[in-house]
Amino acid sequence: MSAELQPLDPEEGVERFLAYMAPSWRDSTYNNAVTRLGHLLDFLDERGIDDTTVLSGRTLSDFVAWRRDEIAPITLQKQLTTVRVFLQWLADIDAVRDGLAEQLHAPELPDGAESSDVVIETHRVERMLEHFDRFDYAGRMHAMVAILWRTGMRRGALHSLDVDDLRPDERAIVLEHRPDSGTYLKNGADGERWIYLGPRWYQIIEDYIAERRLDKTDENGREPLLTTRYGRPHVTTITDNCYRATRPCQYTGECPVGRDIEECEGTRNPEQCPCKRGPHSFRRGAISDHLREGTPPEVVSERMNVSLDVLYKHYDVRSNREKMDVRKEHLPE
C-alpha cells in the first residue's frame, strides 16, 4: 500500500527534482529539463493548481492537449519523457500517487513520422535474444522483444494483447481492436489480423505465460498477455522496457561509445542511453529483415499492416546491394 501523500508545491517539486538529478545529468540534459518542466509549471499555474497531490490522469491529458497546439507531435513525445521521469520521482517521495506517470499519454505518430534511420539492426536483436535465452529466459523483456521482432507489430498492438489472443494449434496470435475495453489498433478494425509466430517464437511466449507472467487482470477484467504488478503495462512502459532491453551494456557487458557503465547516466535512466532503441525501431528492423530474407513485399504489407507505398518510403532500410541480392534469387540463370 502506498504511503500517505504529502502536499508539495509544484515549483518546489521541480526545484527539488532538478537538484536531485543535476549530478547525474549533462548540462544539455539539465537545461532541456528546466525548459520542459517550465511548461508544466506554466500550465499548472494557469489552472490554479498549487499542490502535486491533486494531479490526476485528467490533468495530464489536459496538459498534453495544451502543449499539442504549440509543437509538433514528435517534439511533444520527446518532451513528455522528462515530465514522466519527474512524475515517477514525485511518486517516490509520496507527492503524487503511484502509477500516475503511466497515465501521461503521448500522441501517436503517423507511420514514417520518425527518422528513417531509427532502426535496430538484426545482429543486435540476435545478440539480445541470445542473452535472454541464457540469462533471463521467458521473462517479460524476452517475450516483448520476441513478439516485436517476429511480428513487427506496433507498440499499441502489443499493448492490446491478451492471453486469450494466442492460438496454440496454429502457433499464432490474433490482433483485435477493442476500444470499448480500453485497447486500440492504429488502423482500427482494418488492423485486425492473425499473425503466425512459428514453433520457436511461440514457445517463448508459452513459457512466459506458464512460468514468468504475473497473474493480473486489467480494469476491464481482461487478462493482458504482458503484465506488470499494476496489470496491463502502459504504452510508455513498453517504450521504457525497450530502452532498457536495447542498451548494449545489458547484453554485452560493454559500452560501444566508451562510457563508464557504473557512472553512465543511461545506466540509471535508460532514456539517456545514446544506443537505446524504442518499439518503432523493432518495427522498422523487422520489416526490413523480412524483406531481406526474401519475404514478398505483399506478404510483409499484410503481416505488418502497412501499405506498400508507406513500406517502401519509410520502412525499407535495406541497402541497394541487399535489394539486388533478393531480386537475384528470383531471376533465371
Answer whether 161's CB lies under 8 Å from 224's CB.
Answer: yes
What is the length of the chain? 333
What's the distance, Cα to Cα, between the start and end of the chain in Å? 70
- Domain span at residue 244 reads 122-272
Tell me the pLDDT tens digit for each residue of 53-62. 999 999 999 9
Of 155, 159, 219, 217, give the one whose Cα is nearest residue 183.
159
The answer on 243 and 138 residing in a single domain is yes
Answer whether 283's CB lies under 8 Å from 153's CB.
Answer: yes
This prediction has a pTM of 0.68
The answer on 222 and 160 residing in a single domain is yes
Radius of gyration of the chain measured on its C-alpha atoms: 21
Answer whether 19's CB lies under 8 Å from 115's CB.
Answer: no
Boundary (domain end) residue, out of 53, 70, 103: 103
Q: Is residue 29 assigned to a domain? A: yes
Tell me the pLDDT tens digit for each residue of 42-52. 899 888 999 99
Answer whether 118's CB lies under 8 Å from 281's CB.
Answer: yes
Question: Helix 140-151 vs helix 235-246: angle between axes, to the nearest 10 degrees?
Answer: 90
Rounded Cα distance between 45 and 216, Å, is 38
The answer on 57 and 14 residing in a single domain is yes
Tell me the pLDDT tens digit for each residue of 122-148. 999 999 999 999 999 999 999 999 999
Res 1 pLDDT > 60 = no
